[in-house]
Structure 1
Amino acid sequence: MLKAELRKKYTQKRKALSPDEAFLLSEKIFENFIHYFNLREGEKVHVFIPIPVRKEIDTHIFIQYFLAKNIRVYVPKIVGDRLINIEIFEDTVFETSSWGISEPVSNEDSGENNFQYVITPLLYCDRKGNRVGYGKGFYDGLFQSISAETQKIGVNYFDPDEYVDDVWENDIPVDYLVTPTEVLSFLSGWE
């Protein structure tokens, strides 16, 4: 299926979720993530902050857990036409951007690119790790700038049903997909 078709289909499926359903599914995704990945104190995790109107996975659960476990947390912020990485703490001040995203007030890029994990927003991910997002390419750019050892993890409410037919040369797949029912690895050529 083409990205545009998948984007439309999964946007509709996401819209159909009630707030309670979305939160419960987010909790299951978080539980699967924590059980599968062995995070340690001092490690660095890059995680998106959800856009509520788009019913994205509620990563506030992840962020609260990471901060409580002394795991360093970095979040993306769009400044101009680029994505920067800002380290956050319990006392970080946030504001809502024009995209409807809660972002740190600070525009100070941490310069960090050596994360253990990048938790990636997406609308859909197929059985090869190919992502369908909102089509802006911010995460492809981020993936090109980070350490090759960083584990790229997509999170999604839905299991992969069909393949993305129009994968482009610059598209960078995720290494894992975490859903409410399972964790899929794409590192060993699983299909």
Structure 2
Amino acid sequence: MLKAELRKKYMQKRKALSIDEAFLLSEKIFENFIQYFKPVSGQKVHIFIPIEKFKEIDTQIFINYFLSRNIKVFVPKIVDTILISVEIFKDTKFEINHWNISEPVSNEDSGVLDFDYVITPLLYCDKKGNRVGYGKGFYDGFFESISEETKKIGVNYFNPDENIDDVWENDIPLDYLVTPTDVLSFFNKGFE
């Protein structure tokens, strides 16, 4: 399927989830992430703040866990059409931007490029790690700038089903996908 079709299909599937269902699925995704990756104190995690109206995965569960265990937390912020990475702490001040997304008040880019994990929002991911986001390309640009050692991890309510037919040459695939039922690795060009 084409990205535009997959984007529409999975937005509708997500909208069909109740708030309680989305939260329970988010908890399962969190548990699978912790069990598989076992993050430890001192590691650096870049993670998105969820857009509630799009019923994105509730990453506040992850953020609270990381901060309580001295895992460094960085979140994205768009400044002049570039995705920067802002380090946050328990007392970080947030504001709502013009897209209605919560983000840190600070515009200070951390300059960190050697994250242990980048937990990435998406609408869909196929069996080769190709992702469909909202079509703005912010994460492809961000992926180009970070260390090759960083694990790029998508989180989604749904497992891969159909292939993405219009993958572009500059699309950067994920290394892993975490769902409520699985942790999938794409290091061998996909899974079967």
- Say yes or no: does 1:86 pair with 2:86: yes
What is the alpha-carbon distance in structure 2 between the residues aligned to residue 18 and residue 38 of structure 1? 29
Cα deviation, 1:106-126, whole Å, max 9, x if unaligned, reads: 001111111000000000000
Q: How do 1:64-143 residues align onto structure 2 when only pairs under 5 Å count?
A: 64-143=64-143
What is the alpha-carbon distance in structure 1 between the residues aligned to residue 81 and residue 120 of structure 2? 18
What is the alpha-carbon distance in structure 2 between the residues aligned to residue 113 and residue 172 of structure 1? 16
**Cα deviation, residue 188, structure 1:** 2.3
- The TM-score, its normalising length taken from structure 2, stands at 0.98
- Say yes or no: does 1:56 pair with 2:53: no
What is the alpha-carbon distance in structure 2 between the residues aligned to residue 39 and residue 27 of structure 1? 16
The alignment yields a C-alpha RMSD, in angstroms, of 0.6
Read off the aligned partner of 1:148 and give its amino acid letter: E
The residue aligned with 2:7 is 7
Read off the aligned partner of 1:32 and give its amino acid letter: N
In structure 1, stretches of 5+ residues that fail to align are none
What is the alpha-carbon distance in structure 2 between the residues aligned to residue 143 and residue 83 of structure 1? 10
What is the alpha-carbon distance in structure 2 between the residues aligned to residue 186 and residue 73 of structure 1? 25
**Cα deviation, residue 144, structure 1:** 0.1
Read off the aligned partner of 1:63 and give its amino acid letter: I
Cα deviation, 1:71-97, whole Å, max 9, x if unaligned, reads: 000000011211110000000000111
**Cα deviation, residue 148, structure 1:** 0.3
Kindly report structure 1 stretches of 4+ aligned residues shifted beyond 4 Å.
none
SS of match in other structure, 1:21: helix
Q: Percent identity?
A: 75
Cα deviation, 1:47-76, whole Å, max 9, x if unaligned, reads: 000000010000000000000010000000
Read off the aligned partner of 1:41 and give its amino acid letter: S
- The TM-score, its normalising length taken from structure 1, stands at 0.99
What is the alpha-carbon distance in structure 1 between the residues aligned to residue 188 and residue 162 of structure 2? 19
In structure 2, stretches of 5+ residues that fail to align are none
What is the alpha-carbon distance in structure 2 between the residues aligned to residue 89 and residue 58 of structure 1? 18
SS of match in other structure, 1:86: strand
